[in-house]
């Protein structure tokens, strides 16, 4: 596994040994980030981060900061090793949280995020459950983009709370769904604030 483009192009990344993680393929990662650029100065949240390949790719392409969320201690060790090897520890925070429940502890970082990358294990409904948590009023800012990777046989809804799906792209058995936090969800959040 390697960084596809940007400052760290071609640099190798370590993956957790013996863990059944499913890293995003180079082909999918390249297409995904080409459709998201420019990323200069963006704040990113990489949920279900694994080795951190998506968030590190974002940093390599100009993102200013990434909050990585990974529950597995083994995967976090690989992620932290990748950040250290590339000198990125000072622009990253690694959160040891189970998702989607752990999102409650991330209100500040999620509220500041311009882009949320979501790559949960396939099956089990984690993608939908996490989108439901992210789509609640007051979690994300208006126009925050959320990109969810999922299996083609595990479709995601067009609208999840304040998140509206703008497009989908298929890469073999992998589907990538692009959401945006709508104006409506932000105004609902404002109405509920004291």
- Is the Cβ–Cβ distance between 99 and 132 less than 8 Å? no
Q: What is the pLDDT of residue 95?
A: 96
- Is the Cβ–Cβ distance between 130 and 140 less than 8 Å? no
CA gap 60, 40 in Å, rounded: 10
Helix (H, G, I), strand (E, B) or coil at 162: coil
CA gap 105, 63 in Å, rounded: 22
Q: What is the pLDDT of residue 115?
A: 98
Q: What is the pLDDT of residue 110?
A: 87
DSSP 121: P
CA gap 23, 111 in Å, rounded: 26
CA gap 9, 2 in Å, rounded: 8
Domains present along the chain, CATH in parentheses: 26-192 (3.40.50.150)
CA gap 153, 93 in Å, rounded: 33
> Beta strands 174-181 and 43-47: pairing type?
unpaired
Cβ neighbours of 104 (radius 10 Å): 11
How do the pLDDT tens digits run along the chain, 194 residues long?
899 999 999 999 998 876 555 667 788 888 899 999 899 999 999 999 999 999 999 999 999 999 999 999 999 999 999 999 999 999 999 999 999 999 988 888 888 999 999 999 888 899 999 999 999 988 999 999 999 999 999 999 999 999 999 999 999 999 999 999 996 555 444 444 44
Q: What is the pLDDT of residue 190?
A: 46
Beta bridge partners of 92: 66
CA gap 188, 191 in Å, rounded: 5
């Amino acid at each position: 596994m390697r960084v596809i483009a940007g400052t760290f192009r071609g640099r190798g990344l370590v993956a957790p040994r013996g863990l059944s993680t499913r890293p995003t393929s180079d082909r999918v990662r390249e297409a995904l980030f080409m459709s998201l650029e420019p990323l200069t100065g963006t704040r990113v949240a990489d949920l279900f981060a694994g080795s951190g390949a998506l968030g590190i790719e974002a940093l390599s392409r100009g993102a200013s900061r990434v909050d990585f969320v990974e529950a597995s201690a083994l995967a976090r060790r690989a992620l932290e090793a990748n950040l250290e090897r590339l000198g990125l520890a000072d622009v990253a925070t690694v959160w040891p949280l189970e998702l989607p429940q752990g999102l409650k502890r991330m209100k500040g970082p999620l509220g500041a995020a311009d882009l949320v990358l979501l790559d949960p294990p396939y099956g089990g409904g984690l993608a939908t459950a996490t989108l439901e948590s992210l789509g609640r009023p007051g979690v994300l800012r208006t126009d925050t983009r959320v990109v969810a990777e999922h299996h083609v046989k595990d479709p995601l809804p067009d609208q999840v709370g304040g998140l509206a799906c703008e497009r989908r792209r298929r890469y073999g058995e992998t589907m990538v769904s692009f959401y945006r936090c709508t104006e409506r969800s932000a105004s609902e959040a404002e109405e509920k604030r004291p």
